Structure 1
Amino acid sequence: MLSLRRSTLKYLQVRDYLRSLVISELRPGDPVPSERMLCERFAVSRMTVRQAVDALVVEGVLERVQGRGTFVAPPKVDLQVRLASFTEEMTRRGMTAGVKVLASELVRAEPDIAEALKVAPGEQLVHLHRLRYADDEPMAVEHTWLPADRLPGFLEDGTPDSVYVELDSRGLIPDWGEDTIDAGEADHEEAKLLMIKPGKPVLRISRRAFTGDSAIEYSRSAFRSDRYTLWVPVARPHPAVVPRKRTEEPDAAAPGATT
C-alpha cells in the first residue's frame, strides 16, 4: 500500500512538472523533456513517466507524433454553443476563418433531412459541403441544407461567402435554434479532410436554426476533438413554481357549516 502511494506521488510530480513547463516555458510545438531525462530527474521508472505523459495527452496538453516524440499540443478552441456562424466564432477568438467549398448544389430532400427542415421528402434543397479552417488549419467538416423555395437564386452567383450574411440580407437570419451534440469517430473521408487518422474522436454537432417558426437551416458538422473543447455556461435553475394550496372546502358536518 505504501509502495503504491509513493508511486502515485511520483507520477503526480512528473505530471505537474510537465504541466508547469507547458504553462511557463514551452510553446505549442515545442518538444518536452525526454523520458530518460525525466526518469533521472525524478528517480522513477519509464512506466511512471509514460503514465504522466499519457494523462496530459488525454487532456490535450501534449501530443505524440509517431517517429518524432512528444510535443506541446496546440491550444484548444473553446466551442461555445450559441447561434452564430463559424466565421463569427473564429473572429471572436482573434482567429482567421477560412473555407473550402467541396460541394454546392441543389438536391432532393432525403426523408431524415426533410423531417429536420419540416418539408416534404423530395423537395428541393440547397446543399453545401464545406471544410472549415481557422488560421489555415482544418477544424471542421460541415454539411448544410436550406429550403430552396425560400431562397430563390441562392447559388446563382456561386456559393455565398457567408450563409448567415446572405440570409440576413434576405430578412431570414435565424433568431433561435437547437443543437444536438454527440461524440463520434472520424470516417475515412472526414479524417482525410481534417488531417487526422480514421477512427480518431470527433465532436458531432447537428443544428436546426429557425426564423420565427420555420426551419431555415439544418447542418451536420464534425469538429476535431483535439482542437475543440465544449464550453457551456450554466446557471442555477429558477425556483420551481409550486401551485398554491387550494382552500379546503368546509366540512358539511362541521359546526357552523352552511348548506
Structure 2
Amino acid sequence: MRTASEPGSPETKRRVVRRELLAMMDGLVAGEALPPERRLAEELGVSRPTLRAAIDRLAADGLLERRHGSGTYVAEPRIAVPLTMSSFTDDMIRRGMKPDGRVLSFRTEPAGAKIGRRLSLSPVEEVFTIRRLRLADGASMAIETLYMPKELLPGLRRDDLEGRSFYELLRENGVVVASGRETIEPTVTTTEEAEVLGVPVHVPAFLFERVAHTEEGRPVEYVRSLYRGDRYRLEIDLRPAPH
C-alpha cells in the first residue's frame, strides 16, 4: 500500500488518506471491519489524529460506521428516498429490494383530539392504531405508526397488514390515495426505538409525518414514520420557480 506521508497541508494529507481508505473499502463488504487505527496509521504513514479526521469525515458521509469499543466498519449503503407520494413497499421494489413488514401492535381506540384533528374525526370516533417495523432485504429500515378511520375498513385484521402494502390494501377496497402533505424533521432514536431497529441509542433518524387524502379530500391516514438516518438519504428533484 502507498503511504500518505507526502508533503502538503493537513487538509491535503486528509484527502490522501481518504483516497487510500476508499480504495481499501472497495475490497470490503458492508459490515466488515477496517484494521485497528494504530495499524492503519502506521501503514499509511500518518498520525492518528490525521487518520481519525479522515475516518470521521467518511463516517459523516455515511460510508463508515464507528462502533464504540468495537472498531470502525464499512457502513450499509444508504437508500435514496425520493419525496413523492408513494408507499414504502413501492419505494423498495423500485430499488430492487424486497420489502417486508412486521406488525408490532394493532388496536382500536377513540381518535382523541390530536388524531381526530388530523383525520377530520370527532374525538370519540374510532381509529385503527397500527405500529409496524418496515424491512428491506431483511434489514430494519423504519418504525411506522399508522392511524386510520375504522369506518374506512371496518373489517381490517392484524394479519391483513403482515408484509403487505397499506396502499395496495386500500386500492383493493376501492380507496384511492390522491394527495397528501408530509413534513420531515431530523431527530434521534429513543431507547425503545433503538431496540426495535437494532441500532445504538440516539443515532440520527428522520421523522416523517403524513396525512393522505382521497380525490374528494377525505383523510384516509395519518402516519408517523421514524427512518434510520444511517440507511436513508432524501432525494429531491429541483426545478426553477416560475416567473
- Count of residues in correspondence between the two structures: 233
Task: Report the AA paired with residue 112 of structure 1.
Answer: K
* Match for residue 57 of structure 1 among 56, 59, 76: 59
* Match for residue 169 of structure 1 among 135, 148, 172: 172
* Match for residue 32 of structure 1 among 24, 30, 34: 34
Structure 1 pair 42/6, CA: closer, same or farther in 2 (3 Å)?
farther
**Corresponding residue for 2:156?**
154
Matched, 1:21 2:24: yes
188-197 or 159-168, which moves further after superposition?
159-168
**Corresponding residue for 2:113?**
111
Taking the TM superposition and a 5 Å limit, the aligned residue runs for 1:49-198 are: 49-155=51-157, 158-160=159-161, 161-198=164-201
| Cα deviation digits, residues 67-91 of structure 1 (max 9, x gap) | 4321211101111122222111111
**Corresponding residue for 2:13?**
10
**Corresponding residue for 2:220?**
216
8 A Cα contact 1:18 1:32, kept in partner: no
Structure-1-length-normalised TM-score: 0.84
CA distance in 2, matches of 1:130, 1:26: 32
CA shift at 1:30, angstroms? 2.8
Secondary structure in 2 matching 1:234: coil
| Cα deviation digits, residues 161-204 of structure 1 (max 9, x gap) | 33211210222120111110001111121111001122111110
**Corresponding residue for 1:235?**
239
CA shift at 1:34, angstroms? 3.8
Secondary structure in 2 matching 1:16: helix
8 A Cα contact 1:28 1:71, kept in partner: yes
CA distance in 1, matches of 2:29, 2:159: 41
**Corresponding residue for 2:5?**
none
Q: Which has the larger radius of gyration?
A: 1
106-115 or 66-75, which moves further after superposition?
66-75
Secondary structure in 2 matching 1:120: coil
CA shift at 1:20, angstroms? 3.4
CA distance in 1, matches of 2:71, 2:202: 21
12-21 or 72-81, which moves further after superposition?
12-21
CA RMSD of aligned residues (A): 1.7
**Corresponding residue for 1:256?**
none
8 A Cα contact 1:178 1:209, kept in partner: yes
| Cα deviation digits, residues 189-247 of structure 1 (max 9, x gap) | 111100112211111000111102111111001011001111111111122xxxxxxxx
Q: Gaps spanning 5+ residues in structure 2: where? A: 1-7
Structure-2-length-normalised TM-score: 0.89
Q: Gaps spanning 5+ residues in structure 1: where? A: 240-259
Secondary structure in 1 matching 2:124: coil
CA distance in 2, matches of 1:91, 1:158: 21
Task: Report the AA paired with residue 123 of structure 2.
Answer: P
Task: Report the AA paired with residue 159 of structure 1.
Answer: D
